[in-house]
Chain A
Amino acid sequence: MNPAIIDLRDIHKTYNAGTPVALEVLHGIDIAVREGEFACLIGPSGSGKSTLLNLIGLLEWPTSGSYHLHGHPIEQANDDERTRARLETLGFVFQFHHLLPAFSALENVMIPGLMRYGAYTGEQRRNATELLTAVGLGDAMHKRPTELSGGMQQRVAIARALALAPPLVLADEPTGNLDTHTADGVFELMRRFNETKGTAFLVVTHDPRLAARCDRVVELRDGSIVSDAPQTGLTPL
């Protein structure tokens, strides 16, 4: 078994803890994602998927529980350490693409490198160009996000998430607002990167069709994991 990239144990998350309106949204979650995995996180609205993804993405703090990133505890890390861990270990793809409108597609993909190395290096540029070509946007590299279609924007976002070759990419409903055909394409792209580069993915999705194409499906309901099983390879009828 591959070593775990993230390993969360008994994670609880309560909003407004200690107040009369305290709301526990996650009740003791155990989840680990291993290198090279392609996992889906499914569940109805309000089941806590996004909260869990934000916790895994180090954008929120758990109320209790342990979180190990590459074997190191990180649940008590300060903002700077978490920021560094995000930069070095995680890639993000959001539902609404969230590209920076002031930058071209190529520049968007190069921002993580600029952030990490403090300069646009030739290698960064080559790498970004390769990624954009791989997602089929070789001709649209110098276009601004507003000049691209939704599917194209999401493909740029995937290229950006992969720019620094993180071991794990977290995708929050990456195909949520795309039509079926485009969604299939974007999903295929993630699968391909998973296979060719060995990048692990944790994808939150509503779409059972897409979930069926993941190696592993984790189902969340009312803040608890109700099932976590590998796919046998057969698409359920």
Chain B
Amino acid sequence: MRFEWTVALRFLREGGLQTVLIIAGTTVGISVIVFISGFLGDLQRDLIRRTLGVQPSIIVRPAEEIARPLRDGRDAGALAQVQARAQRLRSVDQWQTLQVELERLPGIRAVSPVAAGPGLVTRGDVNKSITITGVVPERYVAVTRLNEKIVAGELRLNPGDVVIGTDLARDLGVALGDKIRLSTPTSPGDAYQVRGIYDLGQRNLNRAYAYVTLPTAQALLNLPGGVSSIELAVDDLFGAEAFAARLQARTPHEVESWMKANSQLRTALNNQTVMTLLVRFFLALVVAIGVASVLIVSVVQKTKEIGILRAMGAGRGRILQVFLMQGALIGASGAVLGSACGYLLTAIMSNVLRADDGTPLFTATFSPTLYLYTVLGATVLGLVAAVMPARRAANLDPAQAIRL
């Protein structure tokens, strides 16, 4: 191998500007691929976070109640119409046990029991319908990061405390420390003090939820000791659907991922992924064609040298390797430089691109696996691109090559 490496490196070095240009071209191509890949992942993650607001990755609810027509067996006739049942608010069966089991599952980052149901918030003459959401704050925060959305006060819930959204606070004309009344069809309710105000970035979401302690919600919603759902955060956001399907197979409850609940967002993200995949594919193709054409030219330029090496006793296999190595070297060096440039580009763009509220549109994350795969992939790409030129070089007739 030493001979092949030596010759491959010298040939590249001798290529001078030709080598510099093709490595530069590869670098540009790879850096854009790296940028798009990193940017896409970061952007989608942040986009999902923004859009989903307080939606969890996966939600576990009691299975829907369905109407089962009673048949006596003798009468085989079909029922023309079966009325669907109204879905009442029920608790997840044995939720404490389920919660412990879910916590033990690998791939789940956080588990939060939630008791949520319809209610009414009243202040003076104003009534607003809201979802009364009972949570254990430290658990809920681990799933939804609501704490990051608090704009006034804090997310500390004691019995008698409530946390509402900015728009609801404006509608009701309340500020921190003010009292509002929460009631439900089953409970006349009580007065609660506004402890914190959140802003999820969407008006309807900011009007939707009133957070209280879990026992408070259980009392208001007539769910003694029960929870209406268990919310989960998983490690792999995009694997949520598959995870939910596996979970569904193991529980009698209904399991739903954010991807199912927001199919439009998911479709949009999928399209975005496919588009960028295409762009990346064609970039890689352009890089490969560039490497191949430069090496083809190099084979022509070095015909005499290849002939002399063959005459001196270098076999076809060795000549083949010399050119394959050149392709791999171009790919690898382009990938290392391209990764660095791509990361730089990502870092710059994350500072330049801003959302409406002035926060960065996405935060750049450094993913070692992305760069590892990039370098490996580009090396293989260079190698594959070099196959045709290398074969051409290996098949040169030495007698003819020398005569030139």
- Pair B1/A115 contact, Cβ less than 8 Å: no
Inter-chain contacts of B310 with A (CB < 8 A): 59, 83
- Pair A115/B10 contact, Cβ less than 8 Å: no
22 chain-A/chain-B pairs, Cβ below 8 angstroms = A59-B310, A79-B316, A80-B316, A83-B310, A92-B308, A92-B311, A92-B312, A98-B307, A101-B14, A102-B10, A102-B11, A102-B14, A102-B305, A112-B312, A114-B2, A114-B3, A115-B3, A115-B312, A115-B314, A115-B318, A118-B2, A120-B2
Interface of B is mostly: helix
| Among B10, B312, B316, B318, contact of A86 (Cβ-Cβ < 8 Å) | B312
| Cβ of B313 under 8 Å from chain A | yes
* Chain A residue nearest in CB terms to B10: A102
List the interface of chain A (C-beta within 8 A of B): 50, 54, 57, 59-60, 79-80, 83-84, 86-88, 92, 94, 98, 100-103, 111-112, 114-116, 118-120, 160
User: Separation in Å of the A11 CB from the closest CB of chain B?
Assistant: 15
Q: How many A-B residue pairs have CB under 8 A?
A: 70
Top 7 A-B residue pairs of the complex, sorted by shortest distance between their CB atoms? A87-B313, A102-B14, A102-B10, A59-B399, A83-B315, A98-B308, A86-B313
- Pair A84/B10 contact, Cβ less than 8 Å: no
* Chain B residue nearest in CB terms to A60: B399
Given contacts A83-B314, A102-B14, 4 further A-B contacts (CB under 8 A): A54-B399, A59-B311, A86-B313, A87-B312
Q: Using known A-B contacts A79-B316, A114-B3, determine if residue A100 contacts B308 with beta carbons closer than 8 Å.
A: yes
- Pair A103/B10 contact, Cβ less than 8 Å: yes
| Cβ of B13 under 8 Å from chain A | yes
Interface size of B by CB at 8 A reads: 25
Q: Using known A-B contacts A118-B2, A119-B2, determine if residue A80 contacts B304 with beta carbons closer than 8 Å.
A: no
List the interface of chain B (C-beta within 8 A of A): 1-3, 6, 10-11, 13-14, 304-305, 307-316, 318, 398-399, 402-403
- Pair B315/A80 contact, Cβ less than 8 Å: yes
A101 and B16 CA atoms in complex are apart in Å by 13
Inter-chain contacts of B11 with A (CB < 8 A): 102
